[in-house]
Structure 1
């Protein structure tokens, strides 16, 4: 069963919001578009694995997608984690195009695509590191720990896997598989690990701790790209013609195309949380939306059901990312 669904990564949402709000013809647009394309490809590769995991049946499987767990002072991220009473399986998912050549002698992978050969970071080392970090996480949270294993899954069915000339495929590189072989590999693990090491109570605690510990990565996206707030066009814009909208008689009105909307402000508030900071005050909202009335701002904010701290004029409204 899927315990934690795979959602669009927060970083992709932030980059997408950045593209919507950058000033026209900004010189960083092409860089941001390239990053969005690259990250979206990775996310689509992860979603492709979900199709194969959907063939698993039985209550013994718990699937956690896109987990980011704390190990102070750092965090570590797992694309997919399969938890059973018998073992835990980490899936490191790679969406790679072209030909991937494995060289066990040098612990190196090489990608050949569109006539260009480039070195590729070793996903086995990454998966091994995740295994060690997950063991430590279980230990520090006093969780019963089934054996932890891993697989590197190539999500693109057109990717060709090859062994470097004169080399033989040896462990741990045998753990690099195509997505279509994932269920077969899980069946092998089921045959290998037959001793139940975690009770129903243990599994329930693992589930609770993993879900409660998940912490999405929120970064200052403007700083990441060397941008300032002045590089953005923030304000309520028309979804039809992108013209500026004004608040009139409890609705938003576009002078350019005469379109009206009751909810046009919601998009720019969400973008503000993604681009500027995950909190906002009544005054900041009025500046963002170009309205004068504190009462109107308060009504709009209350309708969003945000977490609040402080009171009266000092109230701060917080966006919680999950």
Structure 2
């Protein structure tokens, strides 16, 4: 998600009330991705007996109930939900509370234990019709090398990355006493593969509750990064560095979809890119082959075509 977040930052002033929050959210996203990479790298050591399959970044939907799981290990004895957290500093788990302490400053966070139990409950329901006897378990893995778990309730399955493989072997050993056969195992794996539902990020103004009018408008220069290129005849010209580019508006259209709305009208396009002529704006949108037009006259709008 963070490349899109960086697009948002480019169009926010440094003084905007959400600028610092979005910046910190990017840092957390990047740290989380690094942690998931370390977790998947560690899983290369795994050698379970029998059949097993590892899924990463799993999105599943059950009616209106949707979940996202960092890692899901399905074996012929159990299903293991693995949630990774890449957090440094001293970590404390006290009953329902979870916080970290760095340089004497305590910062509270949502307790990952409840995310884990919710996802375990989902998987039990998800597998009910295909294999109701399958045991579903899981653990939270702290992936940051500098993290220290100072207080951990005995009933919380929270471990450091270096102990993860052994914990997985333990969970696997505590699964079904008799493994399911290969056909049933393949049926479960196939069901999960068919049901994968990737997370769809809403437009970031909606996600961060930012008014679209707070964004910096204009077409960005692909050479120097300045906003406010001017449309001259059939091309764009940067007033700062002088570079010209016929298709500079295309990136702005994609940014509009990511930041404001999944559909764009000619009026909205003119406003976002600061285009005077509605005829030129209409021509530019109609000449983008990746867009599909809907409606007529004043109700006409454009969306990205569905990928095949």
Both proteins in one fold, TM over 0.5: yes
Taking structure 1 as reference, are residues 107 and 257 closer, same or farther at Cα in structure 2, changes over 3 Å only?
A: closer
Deviation (angstroms), 1:195: 0.5
1-structure distance, mates of 2:54, 2:266: 40
Is the contact between residue 56 and residue 183 of structure 1 (CA under 8 Å) also seen in structure 2? Answer: yes
Confirm or deny that 1:296 pairs with 2:287.
no
Partner of 2:193: 207
Q: Deviations over 1:236-278 (max 9, x none)?
A: 1113141422345654332321223355333322221121111
The gaps in structure 2 that reach 5 residues or longer are none
Match of 1:242 among 214, 226, 234: 226
| Larger RCO: 1 or 2 (CA < 8 Å, sep 6+) | 1
2-structure distance, mates of 1:270, 1:122: 36
2-structure distance, mates of 1:95, 1:199: 31
2-structure distance, mates of 1:315, 1:108: 48
Taking structure 1 as reference, are residues 295 and 219 closer, same or farther at Cα in structure 2, changes over 3 Å only?
A: closer
Taking structure 1 as reference, are residues 217 and 228 closer, same or farther at Cα in structure 2, changes over 3 Å only?
A: same
Root-mean-square deviation (CA, aligned residues, Å) is 3.3
Match of 1:31 among 7, 21, 36: 21
1-structure distance, mates of 2:12, 2:116: 37
Is the contact between residue 8 and residue 259 of structure 2 (CA under 8 Å) also seen in structure 1? Answer: yes
Deviation (angstroms), 1:215: 4.5
2-structure distance, mates of 1:61, 1:135: 18
Partner of 1:5: none
Deviation (angstroms), 1:102: 4.2
| TM-score for the superposition, normalised by structure 2 | 0.79
Confirm or deny that 1:89 pairs with 2:89.
no
- 1:250-289 equivalence runs, <5 A: 251-282=235-266, 284-289=268-273
Match of 1:179 among 151, 154, 161: 161
| TM-score for the superposition, normalised by structure 1 | 0.76
Match of 2:148 among 157, 160, 164: 160
Taking structure 1 as reference, are residues 206 and 243 closer, same or farther at Cα in structure 2, changes over 3 Å only?
A: closer
2-structure distance, mates of 1:110, 1:24: 29
Deviation (angstroms), 1:152: 0.4
2-structure distance, mates of 1:57, 1:269: 48
Deviation (angstroms), 1:28: 3.5
Partner of 1:144: 131
Is the contact between residue 81 and residue 138 of structure 2 (CA under 8 Å) also seen in structure 1? Answer: yes
1-structure distance, mates of 2:120, 2:293: 38
Deviation (angstroms), 1:109: 4.1
1-structure distance, mates of 2:130, 2:293: 33
Partner of 1:70: 61
Deviation (angstroms), 1:17: 2.5
Taking structure 1 as reference, are residues 56 and 234 closer, same or farther at Cα in structure 2, changes over 3 Å only?
A: farther
Taking structure 1 as reference, are residues 284 and 66 closer, same or farther at Cα in structure 2, changes over 3 Å only?
A: same
The gaps in structure 1 that reach 5 residues or longer are 1-8
- 1:128-143 equivalence runs, <5 A: 128-139=117-128, 142-143=129-130
Q: Secondary structure at the match of 1:270?
A: helix
Is the contact between residue 41 and residue 95 of structure 1 (CA under 8 Å) also seen in structure 2? Answer: yes
Partner of 1:6: none
2-structure distance, mates of 1:34, 1:107: 25
